[in-house]
Amino acid sequence: MKRLTIERLGHRGEGIARDGDARVFVPYALPGETVLAEVAGEQARLAEIVDASPDRVAPVCPHYAHCGGCAVQALRAQAYADWKRGLVETALRNAGLSLPVAPVIDAHGAGRRRATFHARMARGEARVGFMAARSHEIVEIDSCPLLAPELAGALPAARAIAHVLAPRGKPLDIAVTATLEGMDIELRGAGPLEDHESGALIEAAAAHDLARLTNHGRLVALRRAPFVAVGPARVPLPPGAFLQATQAGEDVLGGLVLEAARGARNVADLFCGVGAFALRLAREARVSAFDSAAESVDAMCAGARATSGLKPLGGAARDLFARPLTAQELAPFDCVVFDPPRAGAPTQAMEIARSPLRRVVAVSCNAQSFARDAAILVNGGFAAKNITPVDQFRYAPHVEIVAVFSRGEGQKRPKRSLLG
């Protein structure tokens, strides 16, 4: 057992201390605290808080410090917001950029509208919950205070599904999404189902009033076709499709993107998903949208066709990692919005930097990859006007970012967009 002084919070929400010349990461410890911890290499287990931080508050969940779903629940609100903002500032600084970052916008709203529960099987029984921090051990939970009210029945439904498949002994991921028609569940890890398993799952779907149940994208039970509200549209939800974690988060991000693109008449939306930005932008501009997930692009286009008052919105399936839009293809646009996955999109950012574009709106859920891509744009002549962190992942070490980049006059653009 060692006595440690916590110096700061790391980017994963763990307290960082010094043990001689070595850094030690202490989950659930806060800056300024003196703690007793069991140390094993760089990792430590918090045993006792000797001197608590004045910023320490009571956690909102009894599973905190066991369940790994939340990293920082015991930190006072202002200190927590400062830490989240600091994640972006530090990442930019590490990328060689000195840029101002706006205060964090809280976008937790009513709570998470999607969650993935994990199930592990032993002796024909299923344990369902979230994983412990830095572990594959399952922490069984009876409720989660971060979930939206529409997911109140998510855990009982996940347990019922896991119980049906427990004899297989395979680990499962059970992704639950709140839709306008009720809960939509996508299973991963089960593999092809036997007829008796499908029958039992159909009964579970009915018992828990699921809108739909799919297994690796294949339909198991459909009671009501699930739709989600995306800006002005009603969009059919593909199985397992990506959505922003909270409805409030999507609304805040969409509002920031819409304001940043205001006045543009021809916009490209890269990594568009089901159209969180494209469908909002199409109220004011012609939009060409691209994503590798063809089913998400099709869903976005279906939503657009069923929505009146939108300007032309074209969608195309394209792997923007393997085939980024080139500088020449980007030339027709007044503005580009890009929202890549956590890994970022350096190759696409390079093409944007080489293009004659004058306005870019970058959205990211990872501070490190955002900073790297931002550096590419800055080195390409862009200046960052606004960098706004958005917190829809309350208590987690993740932060959304919306940034606006602009530069001076470029060459003339043709009037037609890439998609006609």
Q: What is the average per-residue pLDDT within 92-107?
A: 97
- CATH code for 114-228? 2.40.50.1070
Domain with CATH 2.40.50.1070 in the chain: 114-228
**Run of H or E residues at 250:** helix 247-260
Q: Which of 173, 180, 300, 307 is nearest to 241 (CA)?
A: 300
Q: What is the DSSP letter of 224?
A: S
Does domain 1-54 fall under CATH 2.40.50.140? My reply is: yes
Using only the alpha carbons of the chain, give its radius of gyration.
Answer: 23
**Run of H or E residues at 3:** strand 2-9
Q: How many residues does the chain have?
A: 420
Structure tokens at 368: 């490190």
For residue 242, count CB atoms less than 10 angstroms from its CB and return exposed for 0-12, middle for 13-18, buried for 19 or more.
middle
Residue 125: what pLDDT?
87
Q: pLDDT tens across 148-203, in order?
A: 999 999 999 999 999 999 999 999 999 999 999 999 999 999 999 999 999 999 99
Taking all residues of the chain, what is their mean pLDDT, rounded to a whole number?
A: 95
Contacts of 271 (CB under 8 A, 6+ apart): 290, 291, 320, 338, 339, 340, 341, 345
**pTM score of the predicted model:** 0.94
Pair type for strands 22-26 and 34-40? unpaired
Domain with CATH 2.40.50.140 in the chain: 1-54
Residue 142 confidence (pLDDT) above 70: yes
Q: pLDDT tens across 55-71, in order?
A: 999 999 999 999 988 99
Q: pLDDT tens across 285-325, in order?
A: 999 999 999 999 999 999 999 999 999 999 999 999 999 99
Single out the catalytic residue among 67, 70, 144, 365: 365
Domain with CATH 3.40.50.150 in the chain: 88-108+245-406
Residue 418 confidence (pLDDT) above 50: yes
Active-site annotation holds for 365: yes
Pair type for strands 218-222 and 359-364? unpaired
Going by pLDDT thresholds of 50, 70 and 90, the confidence category of residue 123 is confident
Q: What is the average per-residue pLDDT within 91-101?
A: 96
Residue 133: what pLDDT?
79
Residue 8 confidence (pLDDT) above 90: yes
**Fold annotation for 88-108+245-406:** Rossmann fold (3.40.50)
Going by pLDDT thresholds of 50, 70 and 90, the confidence category of residue 410 is very low
Q: pLDDT tens across 341-389, in order?
A: 999 999 999 999 999 999 999 999 999 999 999 999 999 999 998 999 9
Q: What is the DSSP letter of 88?
A: H
